[in-house]
Structure 1
């Protein structure tokens, strides 16, 4: 009897457990039903369309012709998404091992992890899956501090996570998570993080680098690897990730132990609009894109957003050649600047950095500079200050960071200085503009608008225009060849020459002198020799024969858009012209008489790869093949017997100190090179235009104000200021055989009727006269 009662009680107890099981089970089902189908109590949740196209801000990417990222346009989000296929496997393994080891087993919610978190009150680790964390990043934001708010958000994350799992593959979820996360320091998404912290693309990350970045998912603000922030904490966190990878058999113990002993080995390369490669070109491109956006709306009529829509701009810039160009500037300019400072000490020049100006003129120049400054604009229009108040502020010392060349490199120094003194200081720096272009395609391969974009933002490639000096003379010679069929071997007397008043509309008689005055005259010169040595009297005779208007018309056909007065003095290069225009014009000579407008952008795509813009080449026939070939042979004389001959050997043998300060570069280029140096009045501007059959490059060097210049021609000529940059750049390009820069002869026309072989006219004395237009005779450039 007792036994029967025990059995009955056992059955009843079991039935109770079964009943409670079903209550709990059905309660759970009902709860899930309420959670997933009565979601309105938790606020709006993203529908199918929103889940398919989550709103994220994507930076516009600037891509070089060789497939490298030159930079980006963005405001707050420096994000460029990459596909899962571009991730190294160990990056994915690190994420799964650390954040969601059962990622491939669940459908958005890890039941075991959730139950563990509930039972241990979070002590056993978090329960959020990668899908939930992605849901939080994309749609739910920061949780409320209230208990209900936290519960509500967690439920939202569960709902959205399960929807994401139905909408996307596991690989797509991982890719989105890596792409959406903010790694700090403008490193939005894994691609920016890999580039900024290690200077790499994601596919090139090592195991320890991947582990560090995954470790930052815990808290990128706390685990900031920059030296001044928390490198020790970041290293410890990275080692935790490596331990997790070992724990789940993604790496061996030996690999874990080895990597945990290593340092972070950062290659921190911040990405901003004022840093990185091709900064001046990117500044130009910003304006180009804004103009394009004005005239090219989206299909729905709205405007593209340069900073958020994830456009891809494919450019003609070659990242390798751009780097070589920037390196050439950085190699030469500190040496030139050091000599400029040496010559402009207060003892040598009380009005430094200006020459030939009175105090009143300098004060007026600085006052004009004040009114053009950002400080004046801000105080005048934002702070509503009076002119007197603003002027006083320019004479009050303030803390500032200024540019300097230090140990031959661009640097910055913190100092206390009056803003007016900083203006004078910056006006003492020599600037540069450099552009390199393929003459056949018009593709601009390198663009350097100055010495440092952060401190000197005015672009001297396209914005700035300066007197071109003798680099204009080839246009005069070419007009004479085209109109009068002259040969490079034709001889002209080297004697004083004048163009009378009122001829060509010139009100006064014009009598140009050669660079060294009367001592330069005597005998005859071939046109080749005259151009190579920038003989002004011969150039004057040529423009007298063809007329200034003919030369102006030719220059305009060659792409010169700047104002040019048709007066005789134009022959010596009086017009202000940009480097951009000059390179385009000279490219016509290398392209057998066909002008090709410079091209910087080849195409623009939206984030889905749809082509929005594709450039169309703009070309026009300007000169015959024969005329351009003869002009090229004339300009080859500049690098054979003229001021450019130093490109062919180590030319400063007898002036060691000059060699050390200015160059010391043994270019020793042996291939055909055509070009022209240029030096303007008072040595304010130095130019060199150089070309080989498939590359034309122009370089200008000078200060912001023409009154700041070298006192003597020794350092102030184009051959010393600009030519060394061209030589260093070209030598680097030739050393990179993958670029395929031509070393061949310029193409000769089949039916050439003009004699270009002047060997019988050339003498030893010709080769000794390889001086620029104002070069002192005591320098040996042989």
Structure 2
């Protein structure tokens, strides 16, 4: 034989070429094995696989409300994988999975000849689940013409090592936790939650087939974009399951008849439920993680470490709050624009528009390039397709950057915070009308003048400093030392000789009396009371503070008002209960922060609640009864700031405190008329609509059915006085001659003083 080879040069050279080829192949393989083309993970590294995992944000009952991630991945256990999901994968991707050791030699030969010898990159067919797992974990690199060969050999080496380390079930688990799906989603649990809004364990056979079918080409078979393609691919998976004995033919046919129905939930940071709340959670958790370290001594990463953040948010209430806000704001925006007509300040006020233009990112970018103002204006005036927000939907319009800026200037915005007054737990948080286009959070970031919602603090301070609830004050206007003359917006100020008790004055939000109550109580005492109620912002020590010239956030005001239904103790709003790692180990826990001491007496708390219930029943918030038909026990206070810049409403029930604010982000743009801009019209309806929706849902019965404790006989007697009285003849003459007299604080029950003795009982007007 050797002699034949030596005598026949063709055989000799053929043998040399063959042996050289084999040697070169093994040499080439050795370069891959030993990492010349890139390091291959060792068995030790593979035994401790770590993948980026999405941090989950959960509502109070465990509902998923959002995620923070680089890759959207939520690992789950093998036991959570339905059997038909595993069978669908094996039938479609690797029918001999339980027979091979990571490499299907029969299929590999086919790939070798087609891909290598025939250079057919699309041949496929040789990949096993384990090989795909290797690719999922480590990806592929571009090695030029030899890329497909090098990558597949690297994957083969990794696959063999994986099979040596993990059982078949563990490989299935790892595969499903790492495999990529459409829309930047990794892992079966994330895909299940995104496309069907359910956990993997809850998937139906048809839904499992849809997700497995997507693996062939995740974008091409994306059921959100290409539903018909996805349905046809699903049917192929079902046929494969029947072919290999996992389904009967009848069951497969039945499943193929089912329609493809998605319940798509996009966990994009800008979209979905509670985006402003989720952003606040992200900021808070990120800051906290800087102080925590894992077992390796490294800081946790909110985007990579698969943490679980438990929050106080009531998922259903949040949905209803967002619905209520959008329903009202759409209508209010229409009123707002119609009231201005062609005189709209976002168009006609050159200063406002110019300031907005110069604050824009595009203007600053052009300015940084050294362009002149005229060049910048020309650039910003060029029209182009722009995606714009409107309440009728997101549309694309051909408009300039200046047009776009003017468009967004016209929008009113809103902030809503609903708290459990007992512990400060945030139940609902709406920071604006749409996070995609208005990312400024009006719950925490924005501080606006609070208007008449500050008056209850003034009246509480007055009671705490000994003022009797039946003290009467004249509605008459008074000019103070600084030349300031507060007036009333309502008809109660028409008769300068009329006097009102505290309950009537507060419920009808009489400005002149609020200032007189403050002056008699003392500005310092009022500020001190505000501090006791949890207000930490700067408070101006001026008479106008009685009318709410102090600027507070929605969050701060809500916390102060909780004291009226929490045993006179204010609470600090909180929204995270605990943070766990991916294995459920507790990393941090948060407890309610309730003030240790009472801000005011129990009797004065009940008196103030009674006064604020009168606001709803007969005062400035009667729309809750007359327009919205609410019969719940509700106390409240409306608020409107100067020139109708801000509208406020605070709604109080025994088990819920809710603050709503409405206004323009540019302080110079107010409502054109008080009828539109007053808190009763601009902010109150959001609370009213929310309560209507909660009344229709039995889940909220503990809130909607709760009742305030009635006044005791002693307190009812203390407040048993006529709401108003009119000056007698001598008092009118005296007031006419002495217009600087600011009030007439007379305890009507005791009937002391010269005038009472001289004229007896006063003339009443009920």
TM-score range, shorter chain: 0.7 to 0.9
Give the aligned partner of residue 223 of structure 1. Answer: 221
1:331 matches 2:330: no
CA shift for structure 1 position 302: 3.8
- Partner deviation per Cα, 1:270-317 (whole Å, 9 max, x = no partner): 331111111111222232233223444545554332222222222111
Give the aligned partner of residue 423 of structure 1. Answer: 405
Give the aligned partner of residue 303 of structure 1. Answer: 299
Within the candidate set 303, 313, 316, 1:317 is matched to: 313
1:492 matches 2:486: no
Q: Distance in 2 between matches of 1:718 and 1:474?
A: 15
Give the aligned partner of residue 639 of structure 1. Answer: 616
Please state whether the residue corresponding to 2:299 is helix, strand or coil: coil
Within the candidate set 87, 94, 106, 1:93 is matched to: 87
Relative to structure 1, the CA distance from residue 193 to residue 48 in structure 2 (aligned partners, 3 Å threshold; closer, same or farther) is same
Equivalent residues in 2 for 1:151-300, closer than 5 Å: 151-227=149-225, 230-298=226-294, 300=296
Relative to structure 1, the CA distance from residue 470 to residue 756 in structure 2 (aligned partners, 3 Å threshold; closer, same or farther) is farther
Give the aligned partner of residue 136 of structure 2. Answer: 137
Give the aligned partner of residue 624 of structure 1. Answer: 601
Give the aligned partner of residue 390 of structure 1. Answer: 376
1:400 matches 2:390: no
Give the aligned partner of residue 540 of structure 1. Answer: 515
Q: Distance in 2 between matches of 1:118 and 1:351?
A: 72
Please state whether the residue corresponding to 1:447 is helix, strand or coil: strand
Q: Distance in 1 between matches of 2:196 and 2:716?
A: 58
1:81 matches 2:75: yes
Q: Distance in 2 between matches of 1:301 and 1:540?
A: 59
Give the aligned partner of residue 352 of structure 2. Answer: 365
Within the candidate set 85, 88, 98, 1:104 is matched to: 98
Relative to structure 1, the CA distance from residue 185 to residue 424 in structure 2 (aligned partners, 3 Å threshold; closer, same or farther) is same
Work out whether residues 54 and 68 of structure 2, in 8 Å CA contact, stay in contact via their aligned partners in 1: yes
Please state whether the residue corresponding to 1:405 is helix, strand or coil: coil
Please state whether the residue corresponding to 1:696 is helix, strand or coil: strand
Give the aligned partner of residue 702 of structure 1. Answer: 663
CA shift for structure 1 position 47: 2.4
Alpha-carbon RMSD across the aligned residues, in angstroms, is 3.1
Relative to structure 1, the CA distance from residue 446 to residue 41 in structure 2 (aligned partners, 3 Å threshold; closer, same or farther) is same
Give the aligned partner of residue 535 of structure 2. Answer: 560
Q: Distance in 2 between matches of 1:363 and 1:530?
A: 41
- Partner deviation per Cα, 1:168-225 (whole Å, 9 max, x = no partner): 3433322221221221212222223223323333233222221111011112133233
Relative to structure 1, the CA distance from residue 172 to residue 365 in structure 2 (aligned partners, 3 Å threshold; closer, same or farther) is same
Give the aligned partner of residue 67 of structure 1. Answer: 62
Q: Distance in 2 between matches of 1:310 and 1:275?
A: 21
Relative to structure 1, the CA distance from residue 518 to residue 324 in structure 2 (aligned partners, 3 Å threshold; closer, same or farther) is closer
Q: Distance in 1 between matches of 2:703 and 2:334?
A: 32
Please state whether the residue corresponding to 1:345 is helix, strand or coil: helix
Q: Distance in 2 between matches of 1:756 and 1:167?
A: 82
Please state whether the residue corresponding to 1:480 is helix, strand or coil: helix
Give the aligned partner of residue 440 of structure 2. Answer: 458
- Partner deviation per Cα, 1:530-580 (whole Å, 9 max, x = no partner): 211111222122111111121122222322232210111111111121111
Please state whether the residue corresponding to 1:484 is helix, strand or coil: coil
- Partner deviation per Cα, 1:142-183 (whole Å, 9 max, x = no partner): 575645x54444343333223323433433322221221221
Give the aligned partner of residue 680 of structure 2. Answer: 719
CA shift for structure 1 position 111: 4.8
Q: Distance in 2 between matches of 1:564 and 1:756?
A: 35
Work out whether residues 59 and 308 of structure 1, in 8 Å CA contact, stay in contact via their aligned partners in 2: yes
Q: Distance in 1 between matches of 2:432 and 2:492?
A: 34
Q: Distance in 1 between matches of 2:96 and 2:62?
A: 37
Q: Distance in 1 between matches of 2:488 and 2:654?
A: 34
Q: TM-score w.r.t. structure 1 length?
A: 0.82
Relative to structure 1, the CA distance from residue 669 to residue 428 in structure 2 (aligned partners, 3 Å threshold; closer, same or farther) is same
CA shift for structure 1 position 520: 5.5
Gaps of 5+ in 1: 1-26, 502-506, 653-666, 766-782
Work out whether residues 512 and 540 of structure 1, in 8 Å CA contact, stay in contact via their aligned partners in 2: no
Q: Distance in 2 between matches of 1:393 and 1:105?
A: 66
Give the aligned partner of residue 662 of structure 1. Answer: none
Work out whether residues 694 and 704 of structure 2, in 8 Å CA contact, stay in contact via their aligned partners in 1: no
CA shift for structure 1 position 252: 2.9
Gaps of 5+ in 2: 1-21, 727-766
Relative to structure 1, the CA distance from residue 124 to residue 138 in structure 2 (aligned partners, 3 Å threshold; closer, same or farther) is closer
Please state whether the residue corresponding to 1:481 is helix, strand or coil: helix
Work out whether residues 450 and 639 of structure 2, in 8 Å CA contact, stay in contact via their aligned partners in 1: yes
CA shift for structure 1 position 98: 0.9
Work out whether residues 460 and 600 of structure 2, in 8 Å CA contact, stay in contact via their aligned partners in 1: no
Count of matched residue pairs: 693
Give the aligned partner of residue 128 of structure 1. Answer: 127
Please state whether the residue corresponding to 2:72 is helix, strand or coil: coil
CA shift for structure 1 position 481: 1.3
Work out whether residues 425 and 592 of structure 2, in 8 Å CA contact, stay in contact via their aligned partners in 1: no
Work out whether residues 496 and 511 of structure 1, in 8 Å CA contact, stay in contact via their aligned partners in 2: no
Within the candidate set 627, 630, 634, 1:673 is matched to: 634
1:413 matches 2:395: yes
Give the aligned partner of residue 11 of structure 2. Answer: none
Relative to structure 1, the CA distance from residue 752 to residue 189 in structure 2 (aligned partners, 3 Å threshold; closer, same or farther) is farther
CA shift for structure 1 position 591: 0.8
1:47 matches 2:24: no
Please state whether the residue corresponding to 1:72 is helix, strand or coil: strand
CA shift for structure 1 position 379: 3.1
Relative to structure 1, the CA distance from residue 73 to residue 481 in structure 2 (aligned partners, 3 Å threshold; closer, same or farther) is same
Work out whether residues 421 and 656 of structure 2, in 8 Å CA contact, stay in contact via their aligned partners in 1: yes
CA shift for structure 1 position 332: 1.2
CA shift for structure 1 position 39: 5.6
Q: Distance in 2 between matches of 1:118 and 1:389?
A: 62
Work out whether residues 549 and 566 of structure 1, in 8 Å CA contact, stay in contact via their aligned partners in 2: yes
Relative to structure 1, the CA distance from residue 747 to residue 112 in structure 2 (aligned partners, 3 Å threshold; closer, same or farther) is farther
